[in-house]
């Protein structure tokens, strides 16, 4: 019984730190322009080096640069109801706990650069394709605490009436993406483009569980028992895992300027094969070393990025107004993950967008947009630090045309996530998780052309 519970502990630890600052969604917010209008699949602007590479060739001839800094905040909270949690000394008798997680990307830089000639263009894009920050759970998560509560009860039996512990989880996911590509005008109003993106992965996961204290009920109340607490020291855990990997993403693009009012665009990104190599330091029970699975030192972990198709249209009814719409589909089910985790994806992620821009003054453009992201995931996909729910996104902001060669973007974006309830069992006990997420991002961008 103890071995089974210890295995459950190690599994929950590994699941908890998996993709702690990431998820299914590929980062599409790779410029301040996206934050002020997320519907940019048919845009003709310097951030087209990511969203619409073929459209960049229709820009003014010369050099174009775009530099963005974004500040992103996200909360990832879980309200868990699990009977063994009622033995926690700090919440004695209450089986429902709230575990608060905070993700922060203080400054996420993005850079686009392109040279536009008469009929061709070449350029690059640098951004975080996924992650770009850390997520921290100061009190760890219920998957870990609950499994340990069962382990302690199984080990100590009647010698334990309550417990306390120090537990902590933190993870950082960084996909540094550098794209090199170009486009060519096949016709005066039709262009094709393509390129290759290099994805450099550097992830780090940290977690520990220590200072377990056991309490017993006495005639004078609940008292700390140092002797029995000492029996739990062999079960302390400490995990520090760094993952490194590299992959390549080819992509193709097409842009069709039907006339002065309509522009259509499409882009396809091929699946990126990623195999992450682990460098792991682990301290814990001897039998746990063989149970680390995907976080064992030297293990190669499958973590493919899905193929993506995007479709976009932009309508310009008058010269100062642009209306846009877009659709994206991520082929998540075909992206191989460790232990075939993609089998818990019912359907790939789909997104739709709407946006508008108005050049209300010679020196000012006002923008706004909306995006809906739909995930279709089985309950088995979810773990306490890897949960993704469908959401609505609202973005808005301004572009200040300071000089003919210089403009500045100020923007903000807010996500409104649906909640999700998942019920599982652990050692015969029902565990109810209520997942809650929130996110907001600010951006400042500078655009140059000459």
Render pLDDT for 104-158 as a digit per residue (tens, 0 to 9).
888 889 999 999 999 999 999 999 887 777 888 998 888 889 888 988 888 888 8
Sign, CA dihedral 142-143-145-147, equals: positive
Q: Tell me, what's the pLDDT at 105?
A: 83
**Can you give the pLDDT at residue 26?**
64
* Stretch 312-319: mean pLDDT: 98
Q: Is the pLDDT of residue 58 over 50?
A: yes
At residue 16 the predicted structure's pLDDT band, cuts being 50, 70 and 90, is: very low
What are the tens digits of pLDDT across the range 334-377?
999 988 989 999 999 999 999 999 999 999 999 999 999 999 99
Instruction: Name which of 155, 149, 129 is nearest 248 in CA terms.
Output: 129
Looking only at the bridges linking them, the beta strands covering 321-330 and 345-361 are antiparallel
Distance of CA 388 to the CA centre of its chain: 9
Alpha helix positions (H), 142-184: 142-156
Angle, in degrees to the nearest 10, between helices 142-156 and 2-17: 170
Q: What pLDDT is recorded for position 17?
A: 43
The C-alpha atoms of residue 394 and residue 328 are separated, in whole angstroms, by 17
Burial level of 335, CB count in 10 A (0-12/13-18/19+)?
A: buried
What is the tens place of the pLDDT at every residue in 367-414? Answer: 999 999 999 999 999 887 678 899 999 999 999 999 999 999 999 999
Instruction: Give the pLDDT of residue 18.
Output: 40
pLDDT band at 24 (very low <50, low <70, confident <90, very high): low
pLDDT at 5 over 60: no
Round to whole Å and give the CA distance between 213 and 230. Answer: 8
Asked whether residue 25 carries a pLDDT value surpassing 50, the answer given is no
How far is residue 416's CA from residue 155's CA, in Å, rounded to a whole number? Answer: 43
Q: How many residues does the chain have?
A: 450
Whether the pLDDT of residue 238 is over 70: the answer is: yes
Structure tokens at 213: 């204290």
pLDDT of the residue at 158: 87
Mean pLDDT of the chain: 90
| CATH number of the domain encompassing residue 215 | 2.40.160.60
Q: What is the pLDDT of residue 307?
A: 96
How many domains does the chain contain in total? 1
Please state, in angstroms and rounded to a whole number, the distance separating the CA atoms of residues 101 and 34.
26
Q: How far is CA 312 from the centre of its chain?
A: 23
Take residue 84 and report the two structure tokens written for it.
């063994």
Q: Which domain holds residue 106?
A: 2-449
Lowest mean pLDDT among 3-12, 30-39, 223-232: 3-12
| pLDDT category of residue 200 using cuts at 50, 70 and 90 | very high
Q: Which residue has the higher pLDDT, 145 or 180?
A: 180
Q: What is the mean pLDDT of residues 49-72?
A: 96
CA–CA dist 443, 403 (Å, integer): 20
Under the banding of pLDDT at 50, 70 and 90, the label for residue 6 is low
pLDDT band at 15 (very low <50, low <70, confident <90, very high): very low
**What is the distance between the alpha carbons of residues 339 and 111, in angstroms, rounded to a whole number?**
35
Which of 39-53, 309-323, 380-394, 432-446 shows the lowest mean pLDDT across its residues? 380-394
pLDDT at 287 over 70: no
- Distance, in Å, from the CA atom of 430 to the CA atom of 444, rounded to the nearest integer, reads 47
- Whole-number pLDDT of residue 9: 54
Strand-strand pairing, 391-403 and 364-377: antiparallel
């Amino acid at each position: 019984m103890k071995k089974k519970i210890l295995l459950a502990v190690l599994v929950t630890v590994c699941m908890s730190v998996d993709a702690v600052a990431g998820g299914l969604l590929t980062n599409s917010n790779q410029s301040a322009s996206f934050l002020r209008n997320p519907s940019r699949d048919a845009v003709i602007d310097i951030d087209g080096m990511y969203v619409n590479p073929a459209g960049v060739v229709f820009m003014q001839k010369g050099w174009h640069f775009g530099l963005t800094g974004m500040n992103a905040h996200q909360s990832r909270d879980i309200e868990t109801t699990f009977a063994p949690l009622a033995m926690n000394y700090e919440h004695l008798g209450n089986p429902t706990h709230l575990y608060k997680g905070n993700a922060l990307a203080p400054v996420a830089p993005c850079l686009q650069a392109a040279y536009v000639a008469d009929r061709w263009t070449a350029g690059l894009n640098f951004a975080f394709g996924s992650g770009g920050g850390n997520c921290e759970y100061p009190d760890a998560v219920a998957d870990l605490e609950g499994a340990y509560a069962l382990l302690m009860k199984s080990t100590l039996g009647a010698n334990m009436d309550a417990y306390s512990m120090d537990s902590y989880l933190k993870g950082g996911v960084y996909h540094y993406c550098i794209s090199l590509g170009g486009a060519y005008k096949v016709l005066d109003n039709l262009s094709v483009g393509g390129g290759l993106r290099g994805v450099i992965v550097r992830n780090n996961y940290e977690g520990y569980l220590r200072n377990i204290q056991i309490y017993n009920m006495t005639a004078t109340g609940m008292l700390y028992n140092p002797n029995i607490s000492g029996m739990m020291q062999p079960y302390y855990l400490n995990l520090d895992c760094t993952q490194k990997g590299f992959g390549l993403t080819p992509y193709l693009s097409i842009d069709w300027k039907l006339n002065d009012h309509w522009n259509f665009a499409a882009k396809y990104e091929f699946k990126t094969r990623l195999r992450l190599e682990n460098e792991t330091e682990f301290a814990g029970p001897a039998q746990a070393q063989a149970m680390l699975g995907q976080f064992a030192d030297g293990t190669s972990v499958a973590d493919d990025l899905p193929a993506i198709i995007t479709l976009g249209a932009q309508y310009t009814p008058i010269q100062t107004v642009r209306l846009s719409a877009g659709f994206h589909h991520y082929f998540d089910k075909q992206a191989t993950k460790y232990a075939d985790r993609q089998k818990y994806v019912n359907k790939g992620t789909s997104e739709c967008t709407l946006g508008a821009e108005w050049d209300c003054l010679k020196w000012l453009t006002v923008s706004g947009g909306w995006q809906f992201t739909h995930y279709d995931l089985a309950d088995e996909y979810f773990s306490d630090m890897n949960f993704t729910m469908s959401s609505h996104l609202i973005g808005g902001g301004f572009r200040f045309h300071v000089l003919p060669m210089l403009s500045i973007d100020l923007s903000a974006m807010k996500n409104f996530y649906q909640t999700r309830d998942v019920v599982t069992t652990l050692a015969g006990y029902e565990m109810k998780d209520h997942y809650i997420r929130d996110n907001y991002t600010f951006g400042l961008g500078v655009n140059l052309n000459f």
